[in-house]
C-alpha cells in the first residue's frame, strides 16, 4: 500500500485529489495538511511514502518544507512531489534543489496523477528530459565534469541514460546488464554525487556537464 500525504492550502484541491487516490486499491491517503508547518508535523507522525506538496502556501511554503524533509535522515524514504498551478513555475528549480522528486501541475489528468504517485513511491524521478532541459542552465566551464571524477565509466553511462529519462530496466537493456546491476550503478552514483534521490541525480548530470540540454530529447 502506497501511503500518501496531501499538502495544499486549498481544501477543494485536497478533496479532489483524495477522492481520486482513495479509489485505488494500492494507494491510501493517510493525512492532509494546509501549510508547511502542519506538513512537517504530520509527516513525522505518518511517515508516508509520497508527499504531494503545494509550492506556494501560507505559514511555510512547500520549498522550505521540502528542504527540511530532505535534511531529516528519519524521513529519507519520503518522496516529495511538488504541486504547482503552472507548468514552468519560477520556483520549480528551487524545489528540485531542495529535494523534491518531481513536480506536477494541479490540472493533471487523473491517470497521470496515479502514475506519478506510483513512480515517486518506487523512488524514480518525475522529470521528463524536455522539462529538465528548461530547468537546468548549462554549467560554467570550470564546473563541467568536476563532480564526475569519482564515477566509474559504467556509472557515468548509467547516469547519462537516467538523465535522458530511461528507467532501470531500460538502462539495463541499453547497457546489456541486469536490472539489478543498473540499479547498483545508479545507487552508487547517487551516493558519490550526494544526490538524495533520482531527481537530484538528474540535476547533477546536467550541472556537471555529463548531459547537455541540447542532447536531452
Mean pLDDT (whole number) for 98-111: 81
Task: Find which of 21-30, 56-65, 143-152 is predicted with most confidence, using mean pLDDT.
Answer: 21-30
Beta strands, E only, the chain: 2-7, 27-33, 50-54, 79-84, 102-105
Nearest of 214, 112, 198 to residue 163 by alpha carbon: 198
Report d(CA 171, CA 173) in Å as an integer.
Answer: 5
**Considering the chain, what percentage of its residues have pLDDT values greater than 70?**
83
Question: Sorting pLDDT into bands at 50, 70 and 90, what band is 213?
Answer: low
pLDDT tens digits, one per residue of 171-204 = 999 999 999 999 999 999 988 888 877 777 877 7
pLDDT reported for residue 144 = 44
Report d(CA 123, CA 67) in Å as an integer.
Answer: 17
Question: Sorting pLDDT into bands at 50, 70 and 90, what band is 112?
Answer: confident
Residue 142 in this model has a pLDDT that exceeds 50: no
| Contacts (Cβ under 8 Å, ≥6 apart) of 85 | 105, 106
pLDDT reported for residue 49 = 95
Amino acid at each position: 500500500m502506497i501511503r500518501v500525504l496531501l499538502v495544499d492550502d486549498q481544501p477543494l484541491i485536497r478533496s479532489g485529489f483524495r477522492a481520486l487516490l482513495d479509489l485505488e486499491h494500492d494507494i491510501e491517503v493517510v493525512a492532509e495538511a494546509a501549510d508547511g508547518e502542519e506538513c512537517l508535523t504530520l509527516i513525522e507522525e505518518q511517515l508516508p511514502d509520497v508527499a504531494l506538496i503545494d509550492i506556494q502556501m501560507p505559514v511555510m511554503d512547500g520549498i522550505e518544507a521540502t528542504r527540511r524533509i530532505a535534511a531529516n535522515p528519519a524521513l529519507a524514504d519520503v518522496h516529495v512531489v511538488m504541486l504547482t498551478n503552472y507548468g514552468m513555475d519560477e520556483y520549480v528549480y528551487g524545489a528540485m534543489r531542495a529535494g523534491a522528486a518531481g513536480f506536477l501541475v494541479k490540472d493533471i489528468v487523473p491517470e497521470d496523477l496515479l502514475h506519478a504517485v506510483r513512480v515517486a513511491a518506487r523512488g524514480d524521478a518525475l522529470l521528463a528530459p524536455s522539462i529538465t532541459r528548461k530547468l537546468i542552465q548549462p554549467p560554467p566551464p570550470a564546473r563541467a565534469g568536476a563532480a564526475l571524477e569519482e564515477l566509474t565509466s559504467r556509472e557515468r553511462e548509467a547516469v547519462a541514460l537516467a538523465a535522458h529519462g530511461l528507467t532501470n530496466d531500460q538502462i539495463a537493456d541499453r547497457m546489456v546488464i541486469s536490472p539489478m546491476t543498473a540499479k547498483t550503478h545508479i545507487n552508487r552514483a547517487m551516493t558519490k554525487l550526494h544526490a538524495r534521490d533520482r531527481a537530484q541525480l538528474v540535476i547533477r548530470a546536467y550541472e556537471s556537464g555529463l548531459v547537455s540540454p541540447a542532447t536531452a530529447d
